[in-house]
Structure 1
Amino acid sequence: MRAMVYRGPYRIRVEEKDIPEIEHPNDAIVKVTQAAICGSDLHLYHGMMPDTRVGMTFGHEFVGIVEKVGPTVEHLKPGDRVMVPFNIFCGTCYFCARGLYSNCHNVNPNATAVGGIYGYSHTCGGYDGGQGEYVRVPFADVGPTLIPDWMGEEDAVLLTDACPTGYFGAQLGDIVEGDTVVVFGAGPVGLFAAKSSWLMGAGRVIVIDHLEYRLEKARTFAQAETRNFTEYEDIVVEMKKTTDYLGADVVIDAVGAEADGNLIQHVTAAKLKLQGGSPVALNWAIDSVRKGGTVSVIGAYGPLFSAVKFGDAMNKGLTLRMNQCPVKRQWPRLFEHVRNGYLKPSELVTHRIPLEHIAEGYHIFSAKLDGCIKPLVVPTAA
């Protein structure tokens, strides 16, 4: 098969790889029909994620058609159209039994926190991802779900990570009717978090970023107010002014360690922009929320030291909530919202890139060129 292959920071290629085989009786092999490049893939692309090994195929957002199944798989059969959550999870451990699928205890021997993630380094289990023509899907009776007949593939692929993660961010905020919600970051996850905040009763939603084309999408897609933080001497002061000097009820950090800047800047958290390892966005969130408010963290942070204002959070009586999204737990309600027309995830798709040109797709997305918000990857498997 043809697949994207990592060759080092900023170096990816499309190469021939062996089609994956059934390795466990509960595996499935899925022929990928749509995949996506996620903002968190840029951490890998820029060499910022530990133990990202040469030869790995990235991609944790994908949908496809079941090619073959292991002998114990009961719920899938060849020919089924499936959407696959980015979490790999067993479904039976202590954490899965409590719906914490992103914290599964049985799928990642390399960490005690996160479970398995497709195409996201050996830190997250070492599983190849879906930016290729075929992918092995472990625990096939647990993770994948049939794509409903009424759902388009582009909506389905965004429901494997970006949309549920944004929705989860709003959910973690415990939004009550009339709340003012501030979202830091206008990438796909931040845009979905802003849109979802309205579904949970927000009375006002403000999105903060520094790229005008993303802020324009926040206004049209999420019907949010926007602020470009580069236009203010102190964005926290602006947030205080616009909330009667109280602060927002809920702040969602959808930035995390945005992979930008060099290694020293990441390690020292010294570069004062919204990027990797730096706690700037999280500290802005802590400072911008009102006393007794809630900060929801869904931006992806790597295992790098950062100086977070934890004392301020404690003294303000804040509730901090965070996790990797347990995608499948969000699907029942999100399916309703999509079917009823309240959400159209594919509205964020800006680029559709053939697999053979994925290196150019990563460059466009990484460099924020051509108004790129969400790029899809289209394999060419026969």
Structure 2
Amino acid sequence: MKALTWQGKGNVSVEEVPEPRIEQPTDAIVEVTSTAICGSDLHLYQVLGPYLRAGDVLGHETMGVVREVGPGTGDLKVGDRVVVPFNISCGQCWMCSRGLFAQCETTQVRQFGKGASLFGYTELYGSVPGGQAELLRVPQAQFGPVRLPESGHDERYLYLSDVLPTAWQAVEYADVGEGDTLAVFGLGPIGQMSARIALRKGARVIGVDLVPERLALAAKWGVEVLDQSELGKVDHVAEAVLELTGGRGADATIDAVGMEAHGSPVAQAAVAAVGVLPDALAKPAIDKLSVDRAAALIAAIKAVRRGGTVSVSGVYGGEVEPLPMMEMFDRGISMRMGQCHVKRWTDDILAVLEQDEDVLGVESLATHRLPLSEAPAAYEMFQKKEDGCIKVVLKP
């Protein structure tokens, strides 16, 4: 079958790879009908290369049709149309029983001290082949796949794999409602959906980014936008939010950017230096000494009001982040973060998606729809933010 594979830093290619097969009773094989490129895939494209091997299949936003099932997959059956959550969880362990599906004890990668295994996301998270391919093996299929109506627009449901639940959790963690002010840092797909979800809850939303197309899209949905390229330093961004909130700050903020934020030149240089080390040296450096480009996180901390909440959905990988702890303590800030517990939010999101009107605009989020064969060029375009690219959907 054809699959998008990692070949080296900044180098992915579509290759012929062996078709997946049932390996465990709880496995299923899904024929992929749509798969998307996620912003966190770009971390693999650049920063996290030392944890990948040439030929690893990428991708964790996937939906399709079940083509084969193992004997332990419960009532899942061949022909079911499903979307596949990006994290692999059993639904029965101590963590899963508490709704902490991203920490599933059945699939935890204990070798690296990490949580639940993820599709297409390095040896740190299990080296499970991803879904930017014609076929996908789905472990723990007795619990993971979300069954969908037999027909309909794929993109009405595709983002249930990651974007929608991650954005939903970000807003839930921010704990905003009618009349509250939420500032969203980063208006990529997660930031866009976080803003729309918060607006539906009656919140006022301020959005920060520096890509014109992202700012324009957010503004179209009623977000008050701030162009970071005009504001400059982290403190200036935070001051702009404070000015819009009468000097108090937002009730909550969301960092929807993560480890590769603009505005962190020293950290960017450190990340680049690690990137040229041999893997044997780069891995311990990343694991114990890494520093993220944390400008968005710092801005989110500085822009929230006293007693407010910072919700972090952007992916980070650092171990020695310099945070303004005295300021955070003095102002009584709460922080909530982590990989999304996808199945925890599925029912709530499905209730919204199943309305006749596309109230979250999921069917129009993708700016580029391309065949799988064009995935390498799409990665480069997405990474460089070219051609107004906000979201790419691939069709195997």
State the partner residue of 2:293: 278
Matches within 5 A, 1:211-230: 211-220=211-220, 222-230=221-229
State the partner residue of 2:169: 168
State the partner residue of 2:156: 155
State the partner residue of 1:241: 243
SS of residue matched to 2:171? helix
State the partner residue of 1:45: 45
State the partner residue of 1:67: 67
State the partner residue of 1:251: 253
State the partner residue of 2:144: 143
Counterparts in 2 of 1:330 and 1:15: CA distance versus 1, 3 Å: same
- Alignment check: 8 A CA contact 2:157 2:353 kept: no
State the partner residue of 1:121: 122
| 2-structure distance, mates of 1:42, 1:261 | 18
What is the letter of the counterpart of residue 4 of structure 2? M
| 1-structure distance, mates of 2:25, 2:113 | 25
Counting matched residue pairs gives 373
Please report how far the alpha carbon of residue 255 of structure 1 lies from its aligned counterpart in structure 2 after TM superposition: 0.7
SS of residue matched to 1:29? strand
Moved more, 100-109 or 121-130: 100-109
| 1-structure distance, mates of 2:53, 2:181 | 43
- Alignment check: 8 A CA contact 1:268 1:306 kept: no
Matches within 5 A, 1:171-182: 171-182=172-183
Please report how far the alpha carbon of residue 264 of structure 1 lies from its aligned counterpart in structure 2 after TM superposition: 7.8
| TM-score of the superposed pair, with normalisation by structure 2 | 0.90
- Alignment check: 8 A CA contact 2:14 2:373 kept: yes
Root-mean-square deviation (Å):
2.1
| 2-structure distance, mates of 1:162, 1:354 | 21
Once the two structures are superposed, residues 265-293 of structure 1 have per-residue CA deviations (whole angstroms, 9 ceiling, x without a partner) of 4474799xxxx811211111111000001
Please report how far the alpha carbon of residue 131 of structure 1 lies from its aligned counterpart in structure 2 after TM superposition: 0.4
| 1-structure distance, mates of 2:304, 2:3 | 44
| 1-structure distance, mates of 2:295, 2:265 | 16
SS of residue matched to 2:56? coil
Counterparts in 2 of 1:42 and 1:259: CA distance versus 1, 3 Å: farther
Matches within 5 A, 1:1-382: 1-48=1-48, 50-109=50-109, 110-149=111-150, 151-202=152-203, 204-220=204-220, 222-233=221-232, 234-258=236-260, 265-266=267-268, 268=270, 277-340=292-355, 341=357, 342-379=359-396
What is the letter of the counterpart of residue 364 of structure 1? M
What is the letter of the counterpart of residue 371 of structure 2? P
What is the letter of the counterpart of residue 345 of structure 1? V
Please report how far the alpha carbon of residue 303 of structure 1 lies from its aligned counterpart in structure 2 after TM superposition: 3.6
| 2-structure distance, mates of 1:244, 1:96 | 42
| 1-structure distance, mates of 2:228, 2:348 | 33
| 1-structure distance, mates of 2:263, 2:50 | 16
| 2-structure distance, mates of 1:28, 1:263 | 45
Stretches of structure 1 lacking an aligned partner (at least 5 in a row): none
SS of residue matched to 1:118? coil
| 1-structure distance, mates of 2:393, 2:266 | 31
| 2-structure distance, mates of 1:263, 1:96 | 39
Once the two structures are superposed, residues 115-138 of structure 1 have per-residue CA deviations (whole angstroms, 9 ceiling, x without a partner) of 111000010111000001111100
- Alignment check: 8 A CA contact 1:185 1:207 kept: yes
SS of residue matched to 2:121? coil
- Alignment check: 8 A CA contact 2:5 2:57 kept: yes
Please report how far the alpha carbon of residue 113 of structure 1 lies from its aligned counterpart in structure 2 after TM superposition: 3.8
| 1-structure distance, mates of 2:364, 2:49 | 30
What is the letter of the counterpart of residue 25 of structure 1? P
Counterparts in 2 of 1:49 and 1:174: CA distance versus 1, 3 Å: farther
Once the two structures are superposed, residues 345-377 of structure 1 have per-residue CA deviations (whole angstroms, 9 ceiling, x without a partner) of 122111011111110110111111110000011
Once the two structures are superposed, residues 183-232 of structure 1 have per-residue CA deviations (whole angstroms, 9 ceiling, x without a partner) of 00000000011111122231x11100011111001112x32010001212
Higher helix fraction (1 or 2): 2
- Alignment check: 8 A CA contact 2:261 2:295 kept: no
- Alignment check: 8 A CA contact 1:169 1:297 kept: yes
Stretches of structure 2 lacking an aligned partner (at least 5 in a row): 274-290
Counterparts in 2 of 1:353 and 1:260: CA distance versus 1, 3 Å: farther
- Alignment check: 8 A CA contact 2:108 2:114 kept: no
SS of residue matched to 1:117? coil
Once the two structures are superposed, residues 91-125 of structure 1 have per-residue CA deviations (whole angstroms, 9 ceiling, x without a partner) of 11111110111111121333434211100001011
What is the letter of the counterpart of residue 365 of structure 1? F
Please report how far the alpha carbon of residue 241 of structure 1 lies from its aligned counterpart in structure 2 after TM superposition: 1.2
| 2-structure distance, mates of 1:352, 1:195 | 22
What is the letter of the counterpart of residue 192 of structure 1? M
- Alignment check: 8 A CA contact 2:9 2:49 kept: no
What is the letter of the counterpart of residue 301 of structure 1? Y
Counterparts in 2 of 1:44 and 1:260: CA distance versus 1, 3 Å: farther
Once the two structures are superposed, residues 168-194 of structure 1 have per-residue CA deviations (whole angstroms, 9 ceiling, x without a partner) of 111101113210110000000000111
